[in-house]
């Protein structure tokens, strides 16, 4: 059974993490496969939008804890590889030229919460929960913290990572972590509708919009204006294909 299901709906590619018996926990294979799947979708000219979701009742339970027994100081190369892959996965979303909609169908915990927030927009089932329980396991919500603190205020972010307590969809919406809360049976249709709207935008304009959005996110105001000016001058070259 494939760790990642790939399905095309017109110009939208749905990537479904497919370890339902493990609540789609991110083992090494799924992490590598998902990273490859995102890169392939971005490179495919037939694809203009991406939806990421999970098979079964969970979105993603985070890192597969069963692999932790091998991630020891005595196995430094594997520790290094795993950390590098995790960093690449959570970092790739903002570098993709095509928009990603996270369709959070169930529990999104730890690394799974990080994936949910890494999408450009997020739709969450009313029954789903999101949280960062790492501290309860004596570890740190480390790599996922970069996206979290860029999506929510400092006080809320600290409470999430320091208590490890999950929040429901209504609270996630109130905090601005997600865009919409929908009934579970409406999750995929709503996510597809959003992705199809993005796919209908002229490709060069969408790619430039996304690139500029993430570029100005951390720039000082004057530098952000400079970056916007440069893109403004280039817009006239986009044209209609």
Instruction: Supply the residues annotated as catalytic.
Output: 134
**Long-range pairs for 148-157: beta carbons < 8 A, 24 or more residues apart:** 148/113, 148/114, 148/117, 150/217, 150/218, 151/117, 151/176, 151/177, 152/176, 152/177
SS (H, E, C) 183-224: CHHHHHHHHHHHHHHHHCCCHHHHHHHHHHHHHHCCCCHHHH
C-alpha radius of gyration, the chain, whole number: 18
Angle, vertex CA 68, rays to CA 64 and CA 72, nearest 5: 155
Q: Is 5 helix (H, G, I), strand (E, B) or coil?
A: strand
Q: Is 60 helix (H, G, I), strand (E, B) or coil?
A: strand
Could you give the CA distance from residue 125 to residue 107 in angstroms, rounded to a whole number? 10
Instruction: Specify burial of residue 2 (Cβ count, 10 A radius: 0-12, 13-18, 19+).
Output: exposed
Handedness of CA 13, 19, 21, 22 (dihedral sign): negative
């Amino acid at each position: 059974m494939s760790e990642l299901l790939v399905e095309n709906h017109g110009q939208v590619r749905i990537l479904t993490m497919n370890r339902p018996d493990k609540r789609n926990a991110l083992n090494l294979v799924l992490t590598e496969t998902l990273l490859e799947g995102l890169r392939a979708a971005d490179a495919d000219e037939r694809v203009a939008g991406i939806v990421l979701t999970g098979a079964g009742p969970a979105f993603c339970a985070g890192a597969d804890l069963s692999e932790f027994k091998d991630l020891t100081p005595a196995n430094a190369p594997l520790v290094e590889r795993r950390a590098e892959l995790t960093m690449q996965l959570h970092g790739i979303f903002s570098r993709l030229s095509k928009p990603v909609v996270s369709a959070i169908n169930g529990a999104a915990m730890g690394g799974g919460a990080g994936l949910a927030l890494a999408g450009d927009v997020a739709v969450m089932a009313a029954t789903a929960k999101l949280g960062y329980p790492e501290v309860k396991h004596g570890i740190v919500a480390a790599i996922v913290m970069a996206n979290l603190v860029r999506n929510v205020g400092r006080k809320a972010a600290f409470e999430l990572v320091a208590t490890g307590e999950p929040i429901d969809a209504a609270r996630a919406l109130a905090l601005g972590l997600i865009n919409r809360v929908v009934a579970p049976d409406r999750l995929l249709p709503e996510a597809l509708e959003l992705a199809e709207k993005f796919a209908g935008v002229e490709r060069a304009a969408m790619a430039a919009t996304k690139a500029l959005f993430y570029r100005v996110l951390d720039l000082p105001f004057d530098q952000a204006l400079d970056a916007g000016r440069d893109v403004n001058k280039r817009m006239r070259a986009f044209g209609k294909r």
